[in-house]
Chains A and B, each alone.
Chain A
């Protein structure tokens, strides 16, 4: 049960991060999966090689990812001036460099970040690993924080303004560069959180990034392009789909089911469940 919910939380985190970059910068971030994997490996290295406790390594990873996001925005995305072909090239190059690095130096065998807290808790026969509960709580807190940030804060309002009309926002004195940097930093940071969660709970190889990227795309398409709320509902739905159904059905069948759902949705309602034009 907790697995289902947790998987949902990870997908939502990834999806929101991806949507931030997509909506604000108009960039199809093919490197999102690579960032996710890099964060997981970074956290693994800090915990296993440097011997840092998980509570230090986790925020450090996220901050590093956010800082990396600011650098990427400044030196890779901004010079491309949102030209689709060029941003795709940059994203592929970034993703290639990261994945190859981990492939070369960490090998392709599956790794796992050691749990932050050992042991299990629970009532009676229903035992759950404590770190899963912790991860779930952290995930929920972060999601609430993101909602509040977008809805209530000054920066959130600016972001919404840029999403709605970039020129209009610029006329009101909103600097696009700043907003873009924050969006990419938040996007990469969220991807890093998702990556660390996945790294602690599941196995880690350099290639999980691609699969995760595809799940995120599925989520964003289903939710409706340009909708934030949709991502929360559909992320929860996908969490149930991928967490609960494999118990009853074969994994490949679940994948096929989800794929058919997306294709059908594209034919019937291309806007997605919660999208608007």
Chain B
């Protein structure tokens, strides 16, 4: 652990072991806000009964987990434009046994997640040699290949119209709400532990300089494949759950368009912050769905405008901006304390 800390001094302040009691204390209010939010979300179905809003919230939970899983891959320096395909692998690995073999959903959903993990790791292998922009180009192509293979699957995958008749898990939408909420919380918790663990620090080291990382024994390829495998587990899991919820798996929902949406969520929220993807989904998905529903076809313009504003004014995303504001406020408060001490003494 020590050598990791030595070679990467620029790794974020809050790493697992380098954490002092002070930073811990400062993070407490943040954590309690998140906890309160979860409690509100858990009680929400008692208040709203409209099934459309419930649908939007289920979608939100699914995409928060998927966008976070994309960000976990990105901490190892990999800009993966194939996350939609991993979601699709999970969905089809669940849908095919469910439709053709009538396996129960409690078997097919874990199967989807595991299939996405294994295939994700296998597909990450050839791409682990490419870096930065070339990795992005390669994975964009990979996503296309996966969708193509799914479409070419004939009757088993339902071709381009998709595979319908996936068995539902529950009859009531409320249970889906709690299932997706629960899965989101569990996924976010594991991703949090992952990112701020030793492995997460290693990945950040690889991302900052693979040569320095290699010189202290942090293998680049191993860590990068591990990141993809870990990330695609959650993408596959949520893809499988969502496909059971919708009752259909269609290739168009896992293509380049879907992937770019996920990336947009993360970039708008802030790629360098753990809560970035959640905030991004909130801004790009929940706000338009609740407030701009009449726009419909013009909605992409709103999205594009948001993207341009973020790109020009806040390169670290919205959470990055909030962090900056918080640091400024803290710094000012501390200065005031010092001033008071000085004048009082």
Contacts and interface: CB of A to CB of B under 8 A. Distances in A.
Interface of A: 22, 26, 28, 30, 79-80, 83-86, 88-90, 92-94, 96-97, 99-100, 103-104, 210, 214, 217-218, 220-221, 225, 252-253, 255-256, 259, 262-263, 266-267, 270
A225 B136 CA distance: 13
Contacts of B142: 263
Contacts of A86: 311, 315
Q: In the A-B complex, list the 3 residue pairs whose CB atoms are closest, starting with the nearest.
A: A259-B145, A93-B307, A252-B152
Interface stretch (B12-20, B293-301, B327-335): B293-301
Nearest to B127: A266
Given A100-B300, A252-B148, A252-B152, A84 B141 contact: no
A26 B133 contact: yes
Given A88-B263, A270-B129, A83 B300 contact: no
Given A97-B304, A104-B297, A263-B145, A220 B151 contact: no
B170 interface: no
A5 to B, nearest CB: 24
B132 interface: yes
A221 B141 CA distance: 9
Contacts of B256: 210, 214
Contact of B148 (A30, A80, A255): A255
Contact of B315 (A28, A83, A220, A252): A83
B79 A217 contact: no
Count chain B CB atoms within 10 A of each CB in A80, A86, A218 and give the residue with the most. A86
Q: How large is the interface on B (under 10, 10 to 19, 20 to 34, 35 or more residues)?
A: 35 or more
Count chain B CB atoms within 10 A of each CB in A89, A96, A97, A263 and give the residue with the most. A89
A266 B140 contact: no
Interface string B292-324: 000001101101110110111001000000000
A86 to B, nearest CB: 5
B308 A259 contact: no
Contacts of A103: 297
Count chain B CB atoms within 10 A of each CB in A80, A88, A267 and give the residue with the most. A88
Nearest to B299: A100
A198 to B, nearest CB: 18
B264 interface: yes
Contacts of B152: 252-253, 255-256
Nearest to A267: B126
A4 to B, nearest CB: 22
Given A214-B141, A263-B142, 17 more contacts: A22-B133, A28-B133, A28-B137, A84-B136, A89-B308, A89-B310, A92-B264, A93-B308, A94-B304, A96-B300, A96-B303, A104-B298, A252-B152, A267-B125, A267-B126, A270-B129, A270-B130
B301 A85 contact: no
B304 A96 contact: yes
24 contacts: A22-B133, A83-B315, A84-B79, A84-B132, A85-B271, A89-B264, A89-B267, A89-B307, A89-B311, A92-B260, A92-B264, A92-B307, A96-B300, A96-B301, A96-B304, A96-B307, A103-B297, A104-B298, A221-B134, A221-B138, A259-B141, A259-B144, A263-B126, A263-B142
